[in-house]
Chains A and B, each alone.
Chain A
Amino acid sequence: DAGITQSPRHKVTETGTPVTLRCHQTENHRYMYWYRQDPGHGLRLIHYSYGVKDTDKGEVSDGYSVSRSKTEDFLLTLESATSSQTSVYFCAISGTPTGVAITGYRNGYTFGSGTRLTVV
């Protein structure tokens, strides 16, 4: 989707190495999220951010850390990659640019195109 980009799109890494995935938005949205998607599990929330330097854990946060030093960037780090972290990772944004509810504004998620990570 226009306004949200993920990098890299594909990555193969070795077990035990650190990996950082980047999500960049140009929409000035307050909320950003990292999801992973695996067969049979749908999308599961890893971490999310509700502002610069404000982050919180999702349902599958073990083994992951995040950072948000500026509004437009949300980084997901696997400190020591394991094979169980092989997955497709999606970044999403939500909210109004000003963070204030706007009547009739279509809220919800806008997703990036995903990063396919393989840990060997």
Chain B
Amino acid sequence: LAKTTQPISMDSYEGQEVNITCSHNNIATNDYITWYQQFPSQGPRFIIQGYKTKVTNEVASLFIPADRKSSTLSLPRVSLSDTAVYYCLVGDNGTGGFKTIFGAGTRLFVKA
């Protein structure tokens, strides 16, 4: 199972772009990279998923270099409501099983 390394915490201000980088040196060929967001007293929820290059959806972008040993979650123009813990996970998307290990995540604090 691929382990990931992320910064423990980050601070930002409203309206700024926030980039959170995750290291996953032993990512396997079949592994996808998925980011989750967790608010207090709630379960983590899916933000974005990718395999290589760049993926963008309505809330975030995910940048993955060619060697796939790291990935960067980009949150454009954050607001106070983006204050949460963000988890980076890697796992096999092929068969449906997504057994993986959560790290401690990155605690993002957005200030006014």
Asked whether A30 is an interface residue with its Cβ less than 8 Å from the other chain, the reply is: yes
A31 vs B95: C-alpha distance in the bound complex, in angstroms?
10
Contact (A109, B98) CB under 8 Å given A92-B43, A114-B43: yes
**Is B104 touching A40 in the complex (CB atoms < 8 A)?**
yes
Please, which residues of chain B bring their CB within 8 A of the CB of A95?
95-98
Q: Contact check: which of B32, B42, B45, B104 meets A42 at CB < 8 Å?
A: B104
A42 vs B4: C-alpha distance in the bound complex, in angstroms?
13
Q: Contact check: which of A1, A99, A107, A111 meets B49 at CB < 8 Å?
A: A107
How many of chain A's residues have a CB under 8 angstroms from any CB in B?
Answer: 32
Contact flags A16-41 to B (C-beta < 8 A → 1, else 0) = 00000000000001110101000011
Contact (A43, B46) CB under 8 Å given A94-B96, A99-B96, A108-B34: no
**Is B97 touching A94 in the complex (CB atoms < 8 A)?**
yes
Contact (A44, B96) CB under 8 Å given A109-B46, A111-B43, A111-B45: no
Asked whether A64 is an interface residue with its Cβ less than 8 Å from the other chain, the reply is: no
Asked whether A13 is an interface residue with its Cβ less than 8 Å from the other chain, the reply is: no
Please, which residues of chain B bring their CB within 8 A of the CB of A43?
44, 87, 102
How many of chain B's residues have a CB under 8 angstroms from any CB in A?
Answer: 25
B103 vs chain A, min Cβ distance (A): 6
**Is B44 touching A107 in the complex (CB atoms < 8 A)?**
no
**Is B97 touching A42 in the complex (CB atoms < 8 A)?**
no
Asked whether A77 is an interface residue with its Cβ less than 8 Å from the other chain, the reply is: no
Q: Contact check: which of B41, B46, B94 meets A106 at CB < 8 Å?
A: B46
B99 vs chain A, min Cβ distance (A): 6
CB closest chain-B residue, reference A30 = B96
A6 vs chain B, min Cβ distance (A): 9
Asked whether B9 is an interface residue with its Cβ less than 8 Å from the other chain, the reply is: no
In chain B, positions 34-83 with a C-beta closer than 8 Å to chain A are: 34, 36, 41-46, 49
Q: Which residues of A contact B (CB under 8 A)?
A: 1, 29-31, 33, 35, 40-45, 48, 50, 59, 90, 92, 94-96, 99-101, 106-114
Q: List 10 A-B contacts (CB under 8 A).
A: A33-B99, A44-B102, A50-B97, A90-B43, A94-B97, A95-B97, A96-B96, A106-B46, A110-B46, A111-B45
Q: Which residues of B contact A (CB under 8 A)?
A: 32, 34, 36, 41-46, 49, 87, 89, 91, 93-99, 101-105
